[in-house]
Structure 1
Amino acid sequence: MRQPVTPSHRGFARSMRADATKAENVLWQALRSRQLEGLKFKRQVPLDGYILDFVCFEARLIIEVDGSQHADSLQDGVRDRHFEGQGFRVLRFWNDEVERNTDAVCSGILQASRGCG
């Protein structure tokens, strides 16, 4: 069951959409408007006390685009396990990977959405 989102959390997600990283913007251009084989992605979605970079609820797929501050992050592991326990698959890509090889990132997302990645 989805939990209500606090106004402050919703506002923070809105500000993150407005202040996206270059890598997030690059990936959003590939994912928005069902451009990736009809999958509907949303960005900067508040859910269960977290803000997801990108999520496709139909495919139960969460995409996180990470900078160096996420290297060896124990908190990311806790978060990933939380959502995996709810039936989501979590994919993480580094900023430079998205910026330099968007096609390969999108290919990986498609494979995961089909359950074979």
Structure 2
Amino acid sequence: MPERQRGLSSAIMQTIHNLKSSFLVRKKLRNSATPQEIILWSKIRREQLGYKFRRQHSIGRYIVDFYCPEKKVIIELDGYQHKKEICGEYDHERTLFLESLGCRVIRFWNNDINKNISGVIGKIEKYLCEAPR
């Protein structure tokens, strides 16, 4: 990507990340994290996987569970509510938007965190290795 284009892309990304308008919602989500979010956060925070992650990070009108800015990797944890058809459509639209920005979205069920956290961490590490910088 040419330098000018990369700079423009970076400028656009800065205007849609962690919008002030979503600060209170993000704060509320962080303070009311699910047990699975707490477990995963304890494994990926403080660069334990070699990369910085942010939790409840906004990108445009969406708030993602976890985001690695260096690798543009998004981790989403889904509970039973995501099995509903309306949520599936919303999740699909959201994923398309995030991927259009060059992000890779990884989804795990809450049950995956409960039953196989080491497998989840292994998959995240694989995505981080495969993702371009």
**What TM-score comes out, normalization by structure 2 length?**
0.81
| Corresponding residue number in structure 2 for 1:68 | 80
1:22-41 matched pairs, under 5 angstroms: 22-36=35-49, 38-41=50-53
Matched, 1:96 2:111: yes
| Structure 2 Cα separation of the partners of residues 77 and 115 of structure 1 | 22
Matched, 1:59 2:43: no
Bigger helix share: 2
| Higher Cα Rg, which structure | 2
Matched, 1:15 2:32: no
| Structure 1 Cα separation of the partners of residues 38 and 23 of structure 2 | 20
- Amino acid paired to 2:16: Q
Quick one: percent identity of the two aligned structures? 35
Structure 1 position 6, deviation (Å): 3.9
- Amino acid paired to 1:68: Y
Structure 1 position 66, deviation (Å): 0.7
- Amino acid paired to 1:47: I
CA RMSD of aligned residues (A): 1.4
| Corresponding residue number in structure 2 for 1:77 | 92
Show structure 1 runs of 5+ residues with no match: none
| Structure 1 Cα separation of the partners of residues 20 and 43 of structure 2 | 30
**What TM-score comes out, normalization by structure 1 length?**
0.92
| Structure 1 Cα separation of the partners of residues 81 and 24 of structure 2 | 23
Show structure 2 runs of 5+ residues with no match: 1-11
- Amino acid paired to 1:66: D
| Structure 2 Cα separation of the partners of residues 95 and 83 of structure 1 | 21
- Amino acid paired to 2:93: V
Q: Secondary structure at the match of 1:104?
A: helix
Structure 1 position 26, deviation (Å): 0.3
Q: Which has the higher contact order (CA 8 A, sep 6+)?
A: 1
- Amino acid paired to 2:60: D
| Structure 1 Cα separation of the partners of residues 114 and 120 of structure 2 | 9
How many pairs were matched up?
Answer: 114
| Corresponding residue number in structure 1 for 2:54 | 42
Structure 1 position 3, deviation (Å): 2.6
